[in-house]
Structure 1
Amino acid sequence: MTYQGVLKKMKTENAEEIQYYLDMNSDFLNMNQLLNKEFTISFVKYECLNCHLEKEIYRQGFCKSCFFDIPSAGDWIMRPELSTAHLDQEDRDLVYEKSVQLQPHIVYLANSSNVKVGVTRKTQVPTRWIDQGAHEAIEIVEVPNRYLAGITEVALKEHVADKTNWRKMLKNDVDDENLVEWRNKLEQYIPEEAKEYFINSNSETNLKFPVVKYPAKPKSLNLIKTPNYKGKLVGIKGQYLIFDDETVFNIRSNEGLVVSIEV
């Protein structure tokens, strides 16, 4: 069968083993059911996730003009400490910014390639951890807005990483860490404005990814340079598809590409 649609990050379900679903317009593909099966993925065209025009993708699934215009691509998305909705100050669209920024946010520790600090909306736990390929994670603080989460992350990343090494994560070259100990060690660095929101009574969450075989030397598939690729799926971790020949394909970084999948 052949499925065609514009790539968006896979939806996930945290079960005993994480379930992945790829939205292909009129069909949802349960990617777990494709494990140990060969399929072909082919590039068809571009389609901006915002304007839906056939324009080259610039970043985050958007064409260049949309990326610099729409509120969901503002700088505060990647740098939450730049959030200003709590001050009633607009960046691009104050109504949208209030709807996202003025809700509970979590500052967390996740272990994917190493222990790192991150920020997400409370409603995105544990989805955010799954998307990052973390096999364990823990909340540090729960704050009422994105700004407080952002300044907490900025303070903590002076003492812990804030990036994931994607190759190390995909090779599963990771150690188990005591995240409760990490949380308690980092408490002293939380900014004064966020100290009252520290969480001191939780335990870490463990996540299991559907992987049959991890790659020893993962090599990334560029679907623009290689518009047709056929391979046997042997794992899914984070937002990556892992193939038997050690090729890996990041769905998230290829949002906005229309592809066909032949199973």
Structure 2
Amino acid sequence: MTYQGVLTKMETEFTSPIQYYLVFENDFINMNQLLNKTITIQFVKYQCLNCGLDKPIFRQGYDRQCFYDVAQAGDWIMRPELSTAHLDIADRDLEYEKKVQLQPHIVYLANSSNVKVGVTRKSQVPTRWIDQGAHEAIEIVEVPNRYLAGVTEVALKDYVADKTNWRSMLKNDIKDENLVEWRERLKSYIPEEAKDYFIESNTETNLEFPVFKYPEKPKSLNIVKQHAYTGKLVGIKGQYLIFEDETVFNVRANEGLVVQITIH
């Protein structure tokens, strides 16, 4: 059976283990059902997620021009502290920015390769943690806009990591941490304007990923360069497909590529 479509990040369902879905325009694939099956991924062409043209993808599924034009790729996406919608100041599209920035945001701790601090919209919990491959996470602050979440994250980055080591995450090279203790330890470093939003009592969320075999030395698949790859799918974690030969494919990093997927 063969499917074809433009890659976007896999949709997920918070179950135990997590369910993954690859959604194309006219089809979707429950990726969990492909575990222990051999599949071929073949690069067909580019398709920018904004303009739809066959132009090389620059970042986040957009070609270079669209990346610097669309509201969905503004600097405030990656750096929430740069948000300005709460001041009625536009970056690229004030209406869009108000819709996204002026809603409840969570500052959280997640443990995927190590404990890290991050920011997400409240509506994206626990999706964000799943996408990062975190096996445990906890909310520490809930604020009314993205800017406050951003400045809180910046303040806490001096005391806790803000990046995930993708290799360690995929190797499952992790240790359990007491995130409630971490939350209490970091409380005093929360900036004054966000102190009232600290979450006093909650418990950590645990996540289970559908992985039969973790790679010892994960090697990343460049499907554009290789054009086609065939392997046995043995796990899914974060937004990565894990294959028996220790090849891993980051679906999210390949958004905007049209691929053909054949199930053998």
User: What do the CA deviations read for 1:39-64 (whole angstroms, capped 9, x no partner)?
Assistant: 10000000000111111100000011
Where in structure 2 are there 5+ consecutive unaligned residues? none
Q: What does residue range 2-151 of structure 1 map to in structure 2 within 5 Å?
A: 2-151=2-151
Alpha-carbon separation, structure 2, partners of 1:242 and 1:39 = 12
Alpha-carbon separation, structure 2, partners of 1:165 and 1:93 = 33
Alpha-carbon separation, structure 2, partners of 1:179 and 1:162 = 15
Q: What does residue range 164-183 of structure 1 map to in structure 2 within 5 Å?
A: 164-183=164-183
Identical columns (%): 77
Q: Which stretches of structure 1, 4 residues or longer, exceed 4 Å deviation after superposition?
A: none
CA contact (8 A) 2:138 2:180 kept: yes
**Partner amino acid, structure 1, of 2:7:** L
CA contact (8 A) 2:16 2:209 kept: no
Provide the residue aligned with 2:234 in structure 1.
Answer: 234
- SS of structure 1 residue aligned to 2:153: helix
- SS of structure 1 residue aligned to 2:66: helix
Offset of residue 24 of structure 1: 2.2
User: What do the CA deviations read for 1:73-101 (whole angstroms, capped 9, x no partner)?
Assistant: 00000000000000000110100000000
Alpha-carbon separation, structure 2, partners of 1:39 and 1:66 = 32
Alpha-carbon separation, structure 2, partners of 1:103 and 1:54 = 34
**Partner amino acid, structure 1, of 2:185:** K
Structure 1 length normalisation: TM-score? Answer: 1.00
Structure 2 length normalisation: TM-score? Answer: 0.99
How many residues of Structure 1 are paired with residues of Structure 2 in the alignment? 263
Offset of residue 16 of structure 1: 1.6
Offset of residue 234 of structure 1: 0.1
Q: What does residue range 181-260 of structure 1 map to in structure 2 within 5 Å?
A: 181-260=181-260
How large is the RMSD of aligned CA atoms in angstroms?
0.4
Alpha-carbon separation, structure 2, partners of 1:131 and 1:229 = 23
